[in-house]
Amino acid sequence: MINSQNQGPESPKRVNKTVSNETRALVISALNNGIPFSEIPSLYNVSESNARKIFKVYQDEGRIKKLPKGGNRRETLTDEQKKALCDILNEDSSRNTHDICAILLERHNISIDPSTVSRYIREFKRSLEINETAPKKRFHTKYIKIRQKYASECLRIEQDRNKIIFIDEMILQMNMMSQTDPASNGVQETIIAPEELSRKYSVLCAMSCEGLINFKVSVGPYCARNFMQFFFDTLKVLKQRQISGAYLVMNKVQFQRTKMIRKKMMIGEHMAIVLPPDSPFLNPMESLFADWKELVGQTESRTEEEFLAAIKTCGARITGTDCFGFYRKMKSYLIDCKAYLPIENKFS
């Protein structure tokens, strides 16, 4: 006999307790576009509490996909790997997490995701935009001595200043503006542009006080192979100009990227000079790149082709007079550095 008590209206559909990665992405997109948490269950069959958890993880870690099952799922670094990450942050505190991941993989074969990098940066109490330890290190006795040695060397060879070649890299980023379409109610609806519409370009450049020696523009940050090829091309330019015994000024990381660079320098009788750490005022390329970026920004490029052309065109507008001004600005700090005096934060 069938028990009639169990019959009745159909119970409401149960809200999912496990949420697929596709649904998680839809939930995050909806919340980013102003949909309230209370409407998520009816739209995507996800409970409001789960939606809040998913969105909090996205805000804290930048992660959309759920973690795999089993064990302690957070990626951890060894003490040696943490030191490698700190060294990268010390080199350039303006790098984003994706660039840092690429550098860790290239130099140390460490594969981690950007959210893990962000977590360790928070643990280190560091900032990608402002490295708070840099001013402290600048006034440290160790770094004052390093700058004194560098300044003494630069002043010693100043009579051959046309042979002092500075080599460095800058990053330029082009962001496409978000598109807007008028909605039916007359309010513009913002359509977020995909990540592909934001692209970074790197510029490797060599300059002397007489002007630019060589520069190369490429998509994305440079790697060891790109830098080595640019370095060899620059040596060819020096040979064509019959410049031997040049002083090639680079940061420590660039100089140590490959043994092949040191061998080539010996063949051309060139000498390497390593820039002091945390001393942008002793690098005239900082002034060069600041002017270069300003010129590119004034072009108001709307497409990738226009942006790439603007980088090259604006580079060609940098004159020998400009470069001598950049060099002279750097030289103005050498006397104080040679005298073991700390340098205030005057450089912008």
3-class SS letters over 53-114: HHHHHHHHHCCCCCCCCCCCCCCCCCHHHHHHHHHHHHHCCCCCHHHHHHHHHHHHCCCCCH
Residue among 174, 178, 205 at smallest CA distance from 194: 178
**pLDDT for the residue 180:** 47
Amino acid at site 217: V
180, part of any domain: no
Average pLDDT over residues 117-136: 58
| 8 A C-beta contact, residue 211 and residue 321 | no
pLDDT top residue among 224 and 175: 224
At residue 134, the 3 state secondary structure works out as helix
Domain co-membership, 29 together with 149 = no
The pLDDT tens digits of the residues spanning 273-329 come to 989 988 889 999 999 999 999 999 888 888 888 888 999 999 999 999 999 999 999
Element (H, E) at 179: strand 179-182
For the question of whether the overall pTM of this predicted structure is more than 0.75, the answer is no
Least confident of 10-24, 176-190, 222-236, 286-300: 176-190
Q: Which range scores top for mean pLDDT: 4-8, 31-35, 185-189, 312-316?
A: 312-316
**pLDDT for the residue 126:** 42
pLDDT top residue among 132 and 39: 39
Report the alpha-carbon angle 273-276-279, nearest 5.
130
Q: Which residue has the tokens 């942006």?
A: 307
45, part of any domain: yes
**pLDDT for the residue 122:** 72
What burial letters (b/e) apply to 281-309, b meaning 16+ CB within 10 Å? bbbbbbbbbeebbeebeeeebeeeeebbe
Domain co-membership, 316 together with 246 = yes
Least confident of 126-130, 155-159, 204-208: 126-130
Domain co-membership, 241 together with 332 = yes
Domain co-membership, 163 together with 303 = yes
Confidence bin at 161 (pLDDT 50/70/90): very high
The pLDDT tens digits of the residues spanning 26-74 come to 888 888 878 889 988 888 889 999 989 888 888 777 778 777 665 445 5
Average pLDDT over residues 174-178: 57
12, part of any domain: no
Residue among 64, 75, 55 at smallest CA distance from 21: 64
Domain co-membership, 169 together with 238 = yes
Q: Which residue has the tokens 């169990």?
A: 6
**pLDDT for the residue 135:** 53
What range defines the domain where residue 163 resides? 141-175+196-339
Domain co-membership, 297 together with 270 = yes
Which domain CATH number covers 275? 3.30.420.10
Confidence bin at 333 (pLDDT 50/70/90): very high
Domain co-membership, 254 together with 153 = yes
**pLDDT for the residue 215:** 95
Confidence bin at 188 (pLDDT 50/70/90): very low
Rg (CA), the chain: 27
pLDDT top residue among 178 and 69: 69
Domain co-membership, 167 together with 119 = no
Domain co-membership, 327 together with 217 = yes
The pLDDT tens digits of the residues spanning 64-104 come to 877 766 544 555 778 788 888 888 877 776 677 777 888 88
14, part of any domain: no
**pLDDT for the residue 251:** 83
Domain co-membership, 225 together with 284 = yes
| Alpha carbon distance, N-terminus to C-terminus of the chain | 88
Domain co-membership, 255 together with 299 = yes
| 8 A C-beta contact, residue 77 and residue 120 | yes
9, part of any domain: no
232, part of any domain: yes
Q: Is the pLDDT of residue 2 over 70?
A: no
**pLDDT for the residue 195:** 42
74, part of any domain: no
| Boundary (domain end) residue, out of 32, 61, 90 | 61
**pLDDT for the residue 249:** 93
Structure tokens belonging to residue 10? 């159909």
Amino acid at site 236: K
Domain co-membership, 159 together with 108 = no
104, part of any domain: yes
Mean pLDDT of the chain: 78
Q: How many domains does the chain have?
A: 3
Q: Is the pLDDT of residue 121 over 80?
A: no
